[in-house]
Amino acid sequence: MMSQIREAQRSLATASAAISMPEIETLDTIKPKTSMEDEEKASDQVTPDADAWPPPYYLEHGLRRVAPYHFTYKTWCKQRWRGRKLIDVFESEFRDRPLAYYKNAMETGQICVDGKPTDPDHILKNGELVSHTIHRHEPPVTADPTEILHEDEDMIVINKPSGIPVHPAGRYNFNSVIEIMKAERHPEWIAYPCNRLDRLTSGIMFIAKHPKAAEGLGEQIKQRSVRKEYIARVIGNFPDEEVVCNQPILQISPKLGLNRVRASGKAARTVFKKLAYYPPRESQQQKRGSDAPTAGDVAREGGKPWLRKKGYSIVRCLPVTGRTHQIRVHLQHLGHPIQNDPIYANQRVWGVSLGHDDAEALENTDDDIISRLNRMGKEEVADAVAYHDEMVNVYYQQKAEKMSGKLCEVCDTPLYTDPGLQELSLWLHSLRYEDAGGSWSYVSPLPGWALPPSGMSGPTEVGGMEELVSAVRDVNPEIA
């Protein structure tokens, strides 16, 4: 496999055709997780840069990897930075390196202002360009292909795999949907995404081939004349009737992208309808005919009694508004969070109730939630407590992306282990987009996690959206 890595690096270092990389608007605000012993060994070989073709991809163990390369982040001085010391901005805004690293990077010219090395005490002014050159280590993503559902001269409709971001951002550049599609087509190919999905969310996306097509669909979405349906796998037996959640949503940490239901938040509305419920499989305790758990049961559960109960539901979701993490936050508030959600079904962040019905933040303050989530991913793994049920192998409970204790031999960046399955997948899928007037509709197949489990019967497809739409027809006639 090392030969694949070296070949990817050589092709990048020697290629003569350059591509125009999209400019990153902000510096990396999330720690640049890296992984793999192979990557560590490869980093002292030929190190490519980000402006050559083809991208340094290689596939291994079901993951798409990128050989490390040099990259320069650039951003214009933001209004909130004006009049502040450069070192203070990096200390408060970015959390991927210790303060001593940033100070040294400024003194050695890795961090520049207007292309020139700058003292850490430099006072930032409007119009200044801040740049940061690093040896970049991208996290691996799934090697699952991007399925093309439809393509014509104006638009490409894809079924996006889970775990891949749409745009280059944060830790990800080449390992993004847009860059992967570009690598499969042509270095001059330009994508115009019309809708966005979170990195962990899979499903339907529209990629326009030219600005006019993007503007046309974008206007339809803006006018809310486009219906969107998602499918989710949630904890417990969801109610049988349609549920309309009108709870407002507040972003409590822009840095972490963390949201919760709060009365002071922005208006949000989601319609939910249960598609199927699958009870928990018979446990050893039930086979014994006993209600009381044994010491072995308690040990296997790790002190998490909720693992014994509830089963899961497959739920159809119609987001009428489009707030960040809206479906995930509303399901959490209703007491049925997405079963493997690493944030909103995480007991170590939200407590035993998992944030259920806590709109006034009486059980957990915003600061408590932010502090707990901020600790995740360094010494411990952020995973969903409900994810580790009896149907999931212990292997996946232990395998997750965290610090390996090793350093890159080129840049001394701490290396991370490979991500686990729970870090590459969220059981939330963009299932359907359709014009409310009926002129077009695209539906993807149900993902594997939404199909009936082995030995059980259940639906393998969904019907039309009339049931969902009828629940809000009077208050949202634009989608009727």
Q: Which DSSP helix (H) or strand (E) runs through 52?
A: none
3-state secondary structure of 121: coil
3-state secondary structure of 60: strand
Question: Pick the catalytic residue: 198, 297, 368, 435?
Answer: 198
121 in active site = no
| CB of 340 closer than 8 Å to CB of 384 | yes
Residue 379 makes CB contacts below 8 A (sequence gap 6+) with 402, 403
Distance of CA 272 to the CA centre of its chain: 22
Mapping DSSP onto H, E and C, the string for 303-325 reads CCHHHHCCCEEEEEEEECCCCCC
3-state helix, strand, coil in the chain (%, to 5): 25, 25, 50
Cα angle value 35/41/44 (rounded, 5°): 115
Cα–Cα distance between 383 and 345 in angstroms, integer? Answer: 8
DSSP string, 323-371: -TTHHHHHHHHTT--BTT-TTTT-HHHHTTTTTTT-TT-SSS-HHHHHH
The amino acid sitting at 421 is: L
Cα–Cα distance between 157 and 204 in angstroms, integer? Answer: 7
Catalytic residues: 198
